[in-house]
């Protein structure tokens, strides 16, 4: 039985507004807006049965947790030092501008090679200690998970903490190391969901990440200073074969009525977002999904590409799982546990899909980089394609394929700080609240 964890970053704080580094410093308080955001999270998750809640003891997170649980009712958050924000002893209570000016090499490492960020911290005895803040927060996150999963197997848990520790929580859960700190984004009161299949040591599934629509912002804001494109990665709406859990692959199955409704809901969700360009797989189901989403954006033409076609399942296409197991004993289990090892009978391997999906994706990024202002590009594709792209942009390999959930009509957001060649940031993943109003992905999903 899976353990489900809802991870929330604290609401907007006084130091956030002033762009002051917080870390362990505990004078920063929630703003009026931050308090409202916390209550909005409570309203968003109201009705979900939460078994326990944990929070950082620092005021901004503890207050956020208190406001959320007051709204939800029935639980009291337990503070733990394992959820404290990253310790940055030389920088805390300084502005980002001053830190960049006074510690240029360290600040550059923080932004570009976070695993290597080190600080020489004076000790009481006159010596100095070399400290690696990002490596330390990763170890802290792993220790938290080990304790939580030992105590709460099969339960639903709420966790309220901070930006860097939340990124470490997500990173350690899915198998990313401290070098990935800046590949993940956590907005104030953004909500993420992780599903752990068992004890610590088994990587979690990222059901969704950094949902912000409960606060009236469909997507997390673009980070200050980002110059490259923002890509909105969407999975096509439901087909009848999705509903039946029949493998479709490259058989060109159209959307069903529910799939068209999902595409319409995704279009409404993204209606206020300025979209500059759009690319989709040339298969019917993503192409129609894209066309429906683009109805409020009549000035945007849709480009289609075969590079984003769904995986070829070969002889599995058109079949149900029980038929596949009967004809190809053991292969379905291998696909569901070690997908990178499977050669589809007369079809593709995951590596084949990876190579063409990454090539098509990189071409899209390159086409909309080096622009005077950042462009927003809609990309609509398929389950396997989207999962491969999400693995790629976070720095994971094909073996992590099942660690990303992709619901029909779901929206993910990937930002490129400097355009093509720069390290991408996953700003949101598998957002489906526009389809059901729920935090959780309730789409049929179905076979690929």
Query: Helix %, strand %, coil % for the chain, to 5?
Result: 40, 20, 40
pLDDT at 424: 97
The residue annotated as part of the active site, out of 85, 310, 317, 348, is: 310
Q: Are the CB atoms for 274 and 294 separated by under 8 Å?
A: no
Q: Are the CB atoms for 385 and 353 separated by under 8 Å?
A: yes
Q: Of all helices (H) and strands (E), which one includes residue 207? A: strand 205-211
The residue annotated as part of the active site, out of 214, 236, 313, 434, is: 236
Q: Are the CB atoms for 29 and 154 separated by under 8 Å?
A: no
pLDDT at 127: 84
pLDDT at 363: 97
Active site residue 313: no
Domains of the chain in sequence order:
3-92+135-215 (3.40.50.1240), 230-436 (3.40.50.1240)
pLDDT at 12: 98
- 161-192 in b/e burial notation, b at 16+ Cβ within 10 A? bbbbbbbbbbbbbbbbebbbbbbbbbbbbbbb
CA distances from 239 to 30, 236, 317, 323 (A): 45, 9, 14, 20
- Our measurement of the distance from residue 273's CA atom to the centroid of its chain's CA atoms, rounded to an integer in Å, reads 19
Tokens at residue 65, please?
A: 């947790």
Q: Which residues pair with 343 in a beta bridge?
A: 349
Distance CA 342, CA 247 (A): 15
Q: Tell me the three state secondary structure of residue 209.
A: strand
Dihedral over alpha carbons 253, 309, 182, 6 (to 10 degrees): 20
Tokens at residue 198, please?
A: 């068992």
Beta strand extents in 68-137 (DSSP E only)? 78-79, 119-122, 128-131
Distance CA 279, CA 259 (A): 19
Model confidence, pTM: 0.96
- Our measurement of the distance from residue 69's CA atom to the centroid of its chain's CA atoms, rounded to an integer in Å, reads 24
pLDDT at 334: 96
Terminal Cα-to-Cα distance of the chain (whole angstroms): 24
∠ CA 199-3-205, rounded to 5°:
85
Distance CA 118, CA 114 (A): 9
CB atoms within 10 A of CB 97: 10
- Our measurement of the distance from residue 422's CA atom to the centroid of its chain's CA atoms, rounded to an integer in Å, reads 18
Active site residue 310: yes
- The DSSP bridge pattern shows strands 3-9 and 191-196 to be antiparallel
CB atoms within 10 A of CB 223: 14
* Spatial CB neighbours of 377, under 8 Å, sequence gap ≥ 6: 229, 230, 231, 232, 275, 276, 277, 278, 279, 364, 368
CA distances from 302 to 4, 250, 279, 290, 389 (A): 38, 20, 6, 8, 20
At residue 115, what are phi and psi to the nearest 5 degrees? Answer: -60, -30
At residue 219, what are phi and psi to the nearest 5 degrees? Answer: -125, 150
Tokens at residue 338, please?
A: 């070690």
Dihedral over alpha carbons 441, 443, 445, 446 (to 10 degrees): 130
Beta strand extents in 321-416 (DSSP E only)? 376-381, 411-415
Q: Tell me the three state secondary structure of residue 149.
A: helix
Question: pLDDT tens digits, residue range 306-357?
Answer: 999 999 999 999 999 999 999 999 999 999 999 999 999 999 999 999 999 9
**Which segments in the chain show pLDDT lower than 70?**
444-448
Distance CA 284, CA 374 (A): 29
Which residue is associated with the tokens 């920063």? 28
């Amino acid at each position: 039985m899976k353990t489900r964890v809802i991870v929330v970053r604290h609401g907007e704080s006084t130091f956030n507004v002033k762009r002051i580094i917080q870390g362990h410093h505990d004078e920063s308080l929630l703003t009026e807006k931050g308090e409202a955001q916390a209550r909005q999270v409570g309203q968003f998750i109201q009705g979900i049965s939460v078994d326990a809640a944990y929070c950082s003891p620092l005021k901004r997170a503890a207050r956020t947790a208190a406001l959320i649980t007051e709204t939800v009712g029935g639980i009291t958050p337990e503070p733990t030092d394992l959820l404290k924000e990253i310790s940055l002893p030389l920088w805390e209570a300084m502005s980002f501008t001053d830190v960049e000016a006074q510690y240029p090499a360290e600040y550059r490492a923080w932004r570009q090679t976070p695993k290597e960020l080190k600080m020489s911290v004076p000790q009481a005895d006159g010596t100095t200690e070399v400290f690696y803040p990002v490596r330390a927060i990763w170890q802290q996150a792993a220790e938290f998970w080990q304790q939580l999963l030992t105590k709460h197997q099969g339960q639903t848990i709420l966790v309220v903490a901070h930006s860097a520790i939340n990124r470490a929580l997500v990173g350690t859960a899915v198998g990313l190391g401290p070098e990935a700190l800046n590949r993940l984004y956590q907005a104030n009161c953004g909500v993420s969901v992780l599903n752990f299949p068992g004890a610590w040591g088994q990587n979690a599934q990222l059901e969704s990440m950094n949902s912000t629509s409960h606060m009236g912002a469909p997507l997390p804001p673009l980070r200050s200073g980002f110059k490259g494109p923002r890509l909105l990665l969407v999975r096509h709406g439901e087909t009848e074969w999705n509903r039946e859990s029949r493998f479709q692959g490259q058989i060109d199955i159209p959307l069903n009525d529910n799939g068209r409704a999902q595409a319409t809901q995704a279009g409404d969700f993204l209606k206020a977002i300025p979209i500059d360009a759009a690319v989709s797989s040339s298969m019917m189901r993503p192409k129609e999904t894209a066309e429906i989403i683009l109805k409020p954006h009549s000035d945007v033409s849709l480009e289609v590409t075969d590079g984003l076609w769904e995986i070829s399942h070969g002889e599995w296409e058109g079949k149900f799982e029980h038929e596949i197991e009967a004809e190809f004993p053991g292969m379905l289990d291998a696909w569901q546990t070690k997908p990178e090892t499977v050669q589809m009978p007369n079809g593709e391997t995951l590596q084949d899909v990876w190579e063409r999906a990454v090539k098509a994706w990189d071409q899209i990024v390159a086409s909309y980089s080096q622009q005077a202002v950042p462009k927003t590009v809609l990309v609509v594709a398929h389950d396997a394609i989207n999962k491969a792209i999400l693995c790629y942009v976070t720095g994971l390999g094909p073996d992590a394929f099942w660690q990303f959930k992709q619901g029909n009509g779901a929206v993910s957001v990937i930002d490129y700080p400097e355009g093509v060649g720069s390290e991408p940031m996953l700003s949101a993943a598998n957002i489906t609240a526009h389809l059901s109003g729920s935090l959780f992905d309730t789409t049929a999903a179905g076979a690929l």
